[in-house]
Amino acid sequence: MQGLRMPDLKIPSRVLMGPGPSDVDPRVLRALGMPLLGHLDPAFLAIMNDVMEALRGVFQTTNRLTLPVSGTGSAGMETVLVNLLEPGDQALVVVQGLFGQRIVDSAKRCGAETHVVEAPWGEAVDPAAVERKLGQLPGPVKLVAAVHAETSTGVLQPVRPLAEIAHRAGALLVVDCVTSLGGCPVEVDAWEVDAAFSGTQKCLSCPPGLAPITLNARAEECVRARRQPVQSWYLDLTMVMSYWGQDRVYHHTAPISMLYALREALQLVLEEGLEDRFQRHRLGAQALAAGLEAMGLQLLVAPELRLPSLTTVTVPAGVEELRVRRELLNDCGIEIGGGLGPLKGRIWRIGTMGYSCQEKNVLLLLTALEQALRRQGRETAPGAGPRAADAVYVSSRTGA
């Protein structure tokens, strides 16, 4: 309607400590505001090259086919699966949470005969169970897929054993690295992962909208040897590669500003250094866990399987889970996540990802959570959580 004016845009201040997105560095926000270029402008093509090379560094791979798909992490999942799977193929999916289930759904939509090896939510799948299942299946299995960092549970699934098992069976290994890339080691070449996908809004601390993927030569050859065209025109890597590769053939208009932001976010990762960045995430998770346990709260996942970028904590009996999250958000400007699927209403998911993984944020969250729990009659020694977390940080600085 002519003359209609929306109210001025007012974005509330938040500290993002949920399962994603994470907060972003001011440098990334500034990159988003840079002038637009055409998607075939030579200056923009150079930025694309920078992004591909930086992604290889973060994925720890030399794979030629390493690029960001235009879409969120789910688009990365679909890209890998629709390009590798054809109707009638067999796939085996390792499932220990919601995002493993999504891979199952996507593989079935590709027409693949899809098999599952499951573990209870909050646990990892035993690689021996995967090997047994592969031995029971008739005919060749095209790929084995697993979630490295299960965002619904906070479990870090060991990957290297799965690669060895998959390859002995003649299958490719596909790995979901959405909540692990940039926050803990993802060693695509050393682990012999054939294809991996991620998202920008987690540990890379870039706004959501791009999905980094990488395929090795074995997986790339599988794409080129397809019997049928890829069912998705937009995600067909045989065409997307022509845009990102040497030919630079127009396929779609890339999200220019998002690629500026991703380049800057990757630059920040490389400036910090992967090992230092991983240590920062480990330290944040350790401090958070120490604080939560000092408050008498129970963590869902065993210590050896905990994801550094996401901690899951069990909601105490008698506490209203949603009320706590609402009070943290409305009173303190802190976002955390609730449970999904069978864990809905039973856990909180607390992220320490990328730029959000800072000491001040961990201490703030623990202080605010203590107050929210006290309002529901859950008493803890005043300041116990923040003191325990602070002790972890102090110890790391003094080497004690």
Tens digit of pLDDT at every position of the chain (400 positions): 577 888 999 999 999 999 999 999 999 999 999 999 999 999 999 999 999 999 999 999 999 999 999 999 999 999 999 999 999 999 999 999 999 999 999 999 999 999 999 999 999 999 999 999 999 999 899 999 999 999 999 999 999 999 999 999 999 999 999 999 999 999 999 999 999 999 999 999 999 999 999 999 999 999 999 999 999 999 999 999 999 988 899 999 999 999 999 999 999 999 999 999 999 999 999 999 999 999 999 999 999 999 999 999 999 999 999 999 999 999 999 999 999 999 999 999 999 999 999 999 999 999 999 999 999 999 888 999 999 999 999 999 987 6
Rounded Cα gap, residues 60 and 180, in angstroms: 13
| Architecture of the domain defined by 26-270 | 3-Layer(aba) Sandwich (3.40)
Strand boundaries in 149-218, DSSP class E: 149-150, 155-156, 172-176, 195-197, 210-215
Which residues of the chain does CATH 3.90.1150.10 include?
274-398
Structure tokens at 182: 């940039």
Paired with 306 in beta bridges are 155
Note if the pTM is more than 0.85.
yes
Which residues of the chain does CATH 3.40.640.10 include?
26-270
CB-based contact 289:299 (threshold 8 Å): yes
Nearest to 255 by CA among 56, 69, 83: 69
Respond yes or no on whether the N-terminal peptide bond of residue 21 is cis (omega within 30° of 0). Answer: yes
| Architecture of the domain defined by 274-398 | Alpha-Beta Complex (3.90)
Rounded Cα gap, residues 309 and 349, in angstroms: 10
Rounded Cα gap, residues 167 and 169, in angstroms: 5
Indicate the burial class of 45 (C-beta count within 10 angstroms; 0-12, 13-18, 19 or more).
middle
CB-based contact 137:90 (threshold 8 Å): yes
Between β-strands 155-156 and 149-150, what pairing exists: parallel, antiparallel or unpaired?
Answer: antiparallel
Rounded Cα gap, residues 223 and 380, in angstroms: 56
SS3 category, 179: coil
